[in-house]
Chain A
């Protein structure tokens, strides 16, 4: 057993099993060869493994957080990040979803101090809604610069229209807001545009229009995002509660056995459709197949909605949404008119604020 000193222990074991020297030599030779190949293979494998590990490490981003980036580099990096995130917002993945019905939102608007602010925060809500097309109708003889610039920068899919309200129907400066129905001409203009588009549509577009929905959204209300998903699948006319309207916390249609039976409102509940403009959506199909359905600008106070809806549907056919009209997803908020006493005083002195600065 002294061989263990001269050679590897493998050969020790061989010598135990193969006592004859020749056999031992042969076996040892074979074993050595085998051992050699084993060694070589093993070496190759571990070498390849090492290369792989090194490549893995090299392929990762190095941990540069400890290094001091120069100021310019930082600024460039931040700008790049900003660009990326802005792109992310604008070219939103929302518009890639073409298999859901489109929502056409008609918003009448008119020039006043808070107009830009109202449209801004409204656009922030709409930017979250996929397949939304915003139809903004100005109460003006021509499209204004403010609204045009705003819409182009908003990142939304839009149509910019305008229609001036006749003087006798227009609210005067000091009239209370409920005196005359507002926005009727503008909404009708929006409907006219939709009907025009519907008539001119061809091919695949016709199918898309079949499923689309029309909603009338005033620029001072507040809309939750769930509302748009509730209204998206409307066959004729769908309805839901509206908060902070009619002198109450909320108004709503009363639903029994899945059908609307009457309207829960504190003011004139016997109207054909005792609802606010924000409380219903109509399918584009209904609008296109009923070309005579328009808002009556001469309607009595509170009957504007009814003047339009009675052409389209009866109370039995209304589709209740928002959990059978038990949740409030839209609020009829109104914005205060900003106090301009000091501005007016300055203007009289000729020292008013720079009119070039758009507010």
Chain B
């Protein structure tokens, strides 16, 4: 009898503790969901509340910078775990309007949830102007650089359509994406090429988020027309291109007129923009023909009837009054 009582006592003591331990052990395996402290009542002059560090390291440390997500002034919108990330690749180069262009582009991007900005400079080294701008903006970014060799650069200011600008920079960004994300990862992503002087509506980013392979839409002010657009038939499939300039190109579309699913980029690691021997207007085709056929294109923007992106170009400012020696203080950044 006492033995049984003893045993009963021992069981009664030990049982709750074992249950407790099992419960907490399970808890430790399934981690608590990350709580992003986005304090909406913060005033403007306080710096970011939550700092989430996502380190994207690559073998080639010279070209990759640590990506940080910092929330300043509660912008950009909180990162969602459900929305696919839009990786925006922007090549840029130094000229007087660069800071202005990047500023207003960033002001647009700060409204888009789950946006990752890959800014690639056409320079030998990452410039302090761009570095500082990216840091202050608060966007989720990656800062890369590669210099286009002189014989591929535009001669002076004349636009020579035989030499595509920004190609090496876009290719570098594609390579970075392939090195950072492996095809087995479940991270949904969309890749979009955005030049720094175009104008993008916020609706555009939501349209491209549902891209399965490659999605397309009209672009304003390209090809000497009000807008260029893909031709969509009644079944919702793209069968041609509504352009005047060489509509028989495999993909008669501007760089700003399409977006690619990240999975497709990773699945076809050999697909890059062709650098040499590309005819004017064929640069986009040089990449897209390795990824997809006309049949697989997904028309967006209400079956390609709405304009959500404009191919604006900024005038080159006339700096006649600077003179030979420069009139203004060179230390002031513009």
Q: Which residues of B contact A77 (CB under 8 A)?
A: 82
**Does A81 lie at the interface of the complex (its beta carbon under 8 Å from any beta carbon of B)?**
yes
- Which of A52-60, A187-195, A296-304 interfaces with chain B? A52-60
**Chain A contacts with B in 330-355, Cβ cutoff 8 A:** 331-336, 338-343, 345-346, 352-353
Whether B332 and A81, one on each chain, are in contact in the complex, defined by CB atoms closer than 8 angstroms, is: no
Minimum CB–CB distance from A9 to chain B (whole Å) comes to: 11
**Chain B contacts with A in 211-233, Cβ cutoff 8 A:** 218, 220-221, 223-227
**Does B135 lie at the interface of the complex (its beta carbon under 8 Å from any beta carbon of A)?**
no
- Which of B259-267, B289-297, B312-320 interfaces with chain A? B312-320
Beyond A46-B17, A93-B40, A335-B314, is A250–B101 a contact (Cβ under 8 Å)? no
| Chain B CB within 10 A, most for which of A117, A264, A343, A359 | A117
Whether A82 and B97, one on each chain, are in contact in the complex, defined by CB atoms closer than 8 angstroms, is: no
Contact of A89 among B2, B9, B33, B77 (CB under 8 A): B77
**Does A19 lie at the interface of the complex (its beta carbon under 8 Å from any beta carbon of B)?**
no
Whether A128 and B110, one on each chain, are in contact in the complex, defined by CB atoms closer than 8 angstroms, is: yes
Minimum CB–CB distance from A350 to chain B (whole Å) comes to: 14
The residues of A with any CB-CB pair to B shorter than 8 Å are: 6-8, 39, 42-43, 46-47, 49-50, 53-54, 57, 60-61, 63, 77-78, 81-82, 85, 88-89, 93, 113-114, 116-118, 120-121, 124-125, 127-128, 130, 222-225, 229, 241, 243-250, 264, 266-267, 326-328, 331-336, 338-343, 345-346, 352-353, 357-359
| Chain A CB within 10 A, most for which of B100, B101, B305, B319 | B100
Whether B32 and A248, one on each chain, are in contact in the complex, defined by CB atoms closer than 8 angstroms, is: no
Whether A243 and B111, one on each chain, are in contact in the complex, defined by CB atoms closer than 8 angstroms, is: no
Minimum CB–CB distance from A34 to chain B (whole Å) comes to: 15
Minimum CB–CB distance from A139 to chain B (whole Å) comes to: 20
Q: Which residues of B contact A249 (CB under 8 A)?
A: 96, 319, 322, 326, 328, 332, 334
CA distance A339 to B313 in the complex (A): 11
Whether B2 and A336, one on each chain, are in contact in the complex, defined by CB atoms closer than 8 angstroms, is: no
List 19 contacting pairs A-B, 8 Å CB cutoff, sorted by A: A42-B13, A46-B20, A53-B24, A54-B23, A57-B23, A57-B26, A81-B82, A120-B201, A121-B199, A229-B44, A267-B321, A327-B332, A331-B97, A331-B103, A335-B313, A339-B224, A342-B244, A357-B306, A359-B226
CA distance A266 to B244 in the complex (A): 44
CA distance A279 to B184 in the complex (A): 53
CA distance A248 to B74 in the complex (A): 36
Minimum CB–CB distance from B220 to chain A (whole Å) comes to: 5
**Chain B contacts with A in 279-334, Cβ cutoff 8 A:** 305-307, 310-315, 317-322, 326-328, 332-334
